[in-house]
Amino acid sequence: MKILHSVHPADFKQYDTQLIRDRFLVDGIVAADAIHCVYTHYDRMIVGAANPVNTEVILESYPNLRADYFLERREIGIINVGGEGTIIADASMFEVDNLDCLYLGKGLKRVAFSSKNSENPAVFYLLSAPAHTNYPATLMTINEAAKVDAGSHAAANLRTINKYIHADGIKSCQLVMGLTTLQAGSVWNTMPAHTHDRRMEAYFYFDLPAGQKIMHFMGKGDETRHITINNYEAVVSPPWSIHSGCGTTNYNFIWGMAGENMDYTDMDAVSISELR
């Protein structure tokens, strides 16, 4: 499992393009009939994906976790961004369709992923954080998610925010997770930008057509950098960094956080006029 270490903002000022990609980009996690995960030292978040095509894939523990099974001391949020799929967690089975979210709490020993149709396989995006207690496994469909419409056509950021795992939704120890869909003609997400010093965040971009790109902006508000992102790639955002993207077309993205609190509105705003 690849490991991403924490970065100091003063050091980040000196990074060139390749070093930014090495330190923050999560790529290559979606692969047929496999699970690939990346361990970060930002609130010990694990970012990964399971893509069962022709066979069931099992979420195994990793040597660096020093755990008998993956969820021995962890919880996990899972969102399906592909075709219809099934997740088995110990004795329970969940039908997880496109854009549905499943939360699994600490203590579940066997987690298995499969697809209903190999021609249109499921793609399960995974976020896992340490957990001090266990909450019940909970499935929430895209239609059940709390929705907030934001932005405007004039600002090219008309979008719908779907909240799954949060203080008033699916209960968890510290995970907060949801997804944002942008309407046709809208390309900006999370602008004006913000930081939140009390928790990290990861963005996973999907439904981005071939040949298109996301320009993801990061860094302190007065010292910004960017990183280009492809479909099915994620970027890790430190607590001191803004996290905002603009695409060459509209797209969707999953946001997920872990840290000191689960207050969705806990943000430190950075106005557009402050950005440099």
pLDDT tens-digit profile, the chain (276 residues): 999 999 999 999 999 999 999 999 999 999 999 999 999 999 999 999 999 999 999 999 999 999 999 999 999 999 999 999 999 999 999 999 999 999 999 999 999 999 999 999 999 999 999 999 999 999 999 999 999 999 999 999 999 999 999 999 999 999 999 999 999 999 999 999 999 999 999 999 999 999 999 999 999 999 999 999 999 999 999 999 999 999 999 999 999 999 988 888 889 999 999 999
- For the domain made up of 2-274, give the CATH fold: Jelly Rolls (2.60.120)
Q: What are the residue boundaries of the structural domains of the chain, listed by start?
A: 2-274
The stretches of 121-216 forming alpha helices (DSSP H) are none
Going by DSSP bridges, is the β-strand pair 2-4/35-40 parallel, antiparallel, or unpaired? Answer: parallel
> Do 128 and 257 contact (CB within 8 A), yes or no?
no
DSSP 75: E
CA distances from 138 to 10, 23, 106, 170, 257 (A): 41, 33, 13, 7, 18
Q: Name residues whose C-beta falls within 8 Å of residue 265's C-beta, 6 or more positions apart in sequence.
A: none
Burial class (CB in 10 A: 0-12, 13-18, 19+), 110: middle
The pLDDT score that the predictor gives to residue 266 is: 87
Quick one: residue 265, left, alpha or beta (phi over 0 = left, psi -120 to 50 = alpha)? alpha
- 244: three-class secondary structure by DSSP: strand
Shortest CA distance to 204 belongs to which of 259, 153, 254? Answer: 254
The pLDDT score that the predictor gives to residue 78 is: 98
- Amino acid (one-letter) located at 96: V
Cα within 13 Å of Cα(78), Cβ side: 32
Q: Which pTM does this prediction carry?
A: 0.96
Q: What are phi and psi of 246, to 5 degrees?
A: -140, 130
The pLDDT score that the predictor gives to residue 153 is: 95
| H or E stretch at 10 | helix 9-12
CA atoms 218, 219, 223, 226: torsion sign:
negative
